[in-house]
Structure 1
């Protein structure tokens, strides 16, 4: 098939859902008992054994050695004969993933994009033309040695300037020294990109003085047009680093306090696309819903960023088909094979993912996880491929180099320029990032059980249909982009993690 399918729009909630008409499996929307008779696309079958919600049931016989299809694509190979009604999972299905491989440039015509609608939000317009969803002062340490100092500086300043800016937040991390070469470069590039975020009305870069990641060199990486909103403090060079930092933040607040929200359209939105703690329903509810939002934003001229490169293995051809041109295709091929080599060079199989939580939720192979995960990118053409720590360059959908790790990838999205991130989850997580990080539950049970974590119940896709759910989610996105707090912000979950790839001295 040419395109990843959208979630089925069902008038009533069935027992199971099968996406592709030729799929050998369907996904249980509730726990199924052995001996139950269930309906699959108008045909009845008997469940052979207990099957948990989110897990797969065979809807036709599968011979040992045959490919098993879900979403219309193979998700692995049967290791033994599988009968109708059997549970299909790790005990009878294995991955087909291989190491580096050649890919053919075979672009397909882009799917016509729907009119996005006249959605608006109130954001902060920056001098470079970008629009932030927040007007905060960020304190970014160059090195882990002053991480706690930066936290204390931010806490004191937040209390002092509570009514003048949206917040004062520090982003501590343990790196910035004892690093070499590309590893140090990656840390510096990431921090400089974060300092350029539209959500930061001002940034204090706080260094120690003797670290590898020197303040002056870091500042040089920040675009010239952003430097009037940046101050620096070196702790070793200051008589009192707390006093120096307080004065610097007071200056930044005086500037940022002049900023006012103004109404803008979706063309001004930069949305990060992320999943974590996925389950068997992720590819049926939350991820296709995020994909619809990505399509709405990019159709309006806005920007969407997909990442987690190991979680496109097995589904990368879907993105390659959508490459806007040969250069984007070549960049994507190079990135995928480079990431596979990264695994191989460390003696790890490229198919080690899914995680134990994913497996418990019904995901069996990395191909299956990836086919669900790439649906967050919708159907828009892929316009650009970004390296780790690089910033958005053009409108539309971009793919960003970063691992699947939730903290590392959400940080990379914020550094690339995302001003809000949509994060689907079937298991739940409180994790946040520097920008509002909206959690979308893949199932009703999680949304009901963890309301303090979840911003939106994406399982309503199966109740109300994709269109209605997208309208409701976009309403929520615009409200949060206009200043309403996301759950991660209410809970104080605002962290960064930097991808460390080299030796430590």
Structure 2
């Protein structure tokens, strides 16, 4: 295996595919360079001399500035490279000439068709607590009910969280929006909402956010008003499960809603797993389906690439407002907008937020950005949508599920066992992770480096189709099903 990925100018650095020692020569398009330092896999080496304060380029764009002179063959990382990000920016709208229209895909999966026209990838009953006080009660109801209805549905799952009380205004509204959107998810044939009775997030107020057409598959109970909340809850799940019996039928990729996410990224994520997921987003949007990109603080430094693909001036303005608003949120709390990457990202070779973001936005593919939606809102357009949510893995993945994603593609270079309400496909950026953690990883995107992007594209698409058709992900097999709600306001 070569020690470095072949690249073309104008990049100033090369990402190592495997560790190299001082004296090794590594090849790139147009030449080679001799290593001055030992360089770990996923880390960067300078292709030529870089002057102090000069921009350093990767993916064809600046990823920061050199803090001192860097020699050709020298390791480039936190000791000699720093972010150039600051606060808010002004942006200019263009005509969307940077959009690439993907070819439509004729692939199909076996899904569950719902009365409203949406198609689920699972046929489950979800138990949703309004407040943390009954989170464990909801879990007990789900466990007891599943034993009775396993032959009727794909599963019964409760999603515990600590919120729903001692919240005010916008903060409480966000909790309510997430729970209401989850209750309406196409993978949930029915939902039981479990309230306590005295919480801020009252059941009645939550039900007001659920469309009338969906309420026939919603049941609720208030524990303080119930003679036996366990027996009542289990009975409600059984009632919904008997009404939810369904069979899978063929559906095109136009019926798929794909959420895209990265977590625990490394230096190879932006070269293998993320662009590969971008191709999956293009397959789905090209077929007339929907893809959702989020993690707004992890597009800082690369937001111009999404803005250049805005389908309209209104969408462009919405992206600008979202990005600058998120930056102002950091500034208002006295935090720099560049307080990223994480320690794990840095250990994996990512140096600055610009580098992380330029890799991360590739998950959105190349199609036009057609919509921007607020946290807790369900996807409403076919094509690529940008969703308001932070970078935190659990919070952003929960937001993707609430927005209507029926499958989440989650790329990682470091690994994580977490799973979320919908099938979460873990895609390793490198062979080593896939080999070390087969109980976590569903697909090895390291094959991009061996077999090429086209072969990896075909293999991953088939894997997604199998999972959307019912094959379990690693997280599902492990019982990893979590939600996390974004807490932004004061706590009473």
TM-score range, shorter chain: over 0.9
Q: Deviations over 1:108-128 (max 9, x none)?
A: 325443424321101011111
Whole-angstrom distance in 2 between the partners of 1:333 and 1:102: 8
Q: Deviations over 1:138-185 (max 9, x none)?
A: 000000000000000000011111111000000010000000000000
Whole-angstrom distance in 2 between the partners of 1:286 and 1:131: 26
Whole-angstrom distance in 1 between the partners of 2:244 and 2:446: 39
Q: Deviations over 1:417-463 (max 9, x none)?
A: 00000000000000000000000000000000000000000010111
Whole-angstrom distance in 2 between the partners of 1:353 and 1:193: 30
Q: Deviations over 1:19-70 (max 9, x none)?
A: 4511110000000100112222241321001000000000011000100000
| Match of residue 97 from structure 2 | 109
Whole-angstrom distance in 1 between the partners of 2:243 and 2:26: 63
Give the alignment partner of residue 479 of structure 1, picking from 466, 469, 476.
466
How many residue pairs are counted as aligned between the two chains? 492
| Match of residue 6 from structure 1 | none
SS at 2:87 equivalent? coil
Instruction: Assess, with a 3 A threshold, how the Cα gap between structure 1 residues 112 and 354 changes in structure 2: closer, same or farther.
Output: closer
Whole-angstrom distance in 2 between the partners of 1:18 and 1:472: 23
Matches within 5 A, 1:207-286: 207-257=195-245, 259-286=246-273
Whole-angstrom distance in 1 between the partners of 2:196 and 2:96: 52
1:467 aligns with 2:454: yes
SS at 2:14 equivalent? strand
Verify the 8 A CA contact 2:102 2:366 in the aligned structure 1: no
1:71 aligns with 2:22: no
Whole-angstrom distance in 1 between the partners of 2:135 and 2:86: 41
Whole-angstrom distance in 2 between the partners of 1:165 and 1:314: 44
Which deviates more from structure 2 when the two are superposed, residues 372-381 or residues 119-128?
Answer: 119-128
1:37 aligns with 2:33: no
Verify the 8 A CA contact 2:8 2:28 in the aligned structure 1: no
1:196 aligns with 2:207: no
SS at 1:17 equivalent? coil
Verify the 8 A CA contact 1:203 1:231 in the aligned structure 2: yes
Whole-angstrom distance in 2 between the partners of 1:19 and 1:131: 41
| Match of residue 421 from structure 1 | 408
Residue 18 of structure 1, CA deviation? 4.9
Q: Extract unaligned runs of 5+ from structure 2.
A: none
SS at 2:426 equivalent? strand
Residue 225 of structure 1, CA deviation? 1.6
Matches within 5 A, 1:100-179: 100-179=88-167
Matches within 5 A, 1:307-456: 307-456=294-443
Q: Extract unaligned runs of 5+ from structure 1.
A: 1-12
Which deviates more from structure 2 when the two are superposed, residues 98-107 or residues 495-504?
Answer: 98-107
Verify the 8 A CA contact 2:267 2:349 in the aligned structure 1: yes
1:299 aligns with 2:299: no
Q: Deviations over 1:338-393 (max 9, x none)?
A: 10011111111110010000000000000000000000000000000010001001
| Match of residue 27 from structure 1 | 15
Whole-angstrom distance in 1 between the partners of 2:148 and 2:189: 16
SS at 2:315 equivalent? helix
SS at 1:233 equivalent? strand
Whole-angstrom distance in 2 between the partners of 1:192 and 1:30: 47
Give the alignment partner of residue 290 of structure 1, picking from 252, 270, 277.
277
Q: CA RMSD of the aligned region, Å?
A: 0.9
Give the alignment partner of residue 92 of structure 1, picking from 77, 80, 88.
80
Normalising by structure 1, we get a TM-score of 0.96
Which deviates more from structure 2 when the two are superposed, residues 322-331 or residues 13-22?
Answer: 13-22
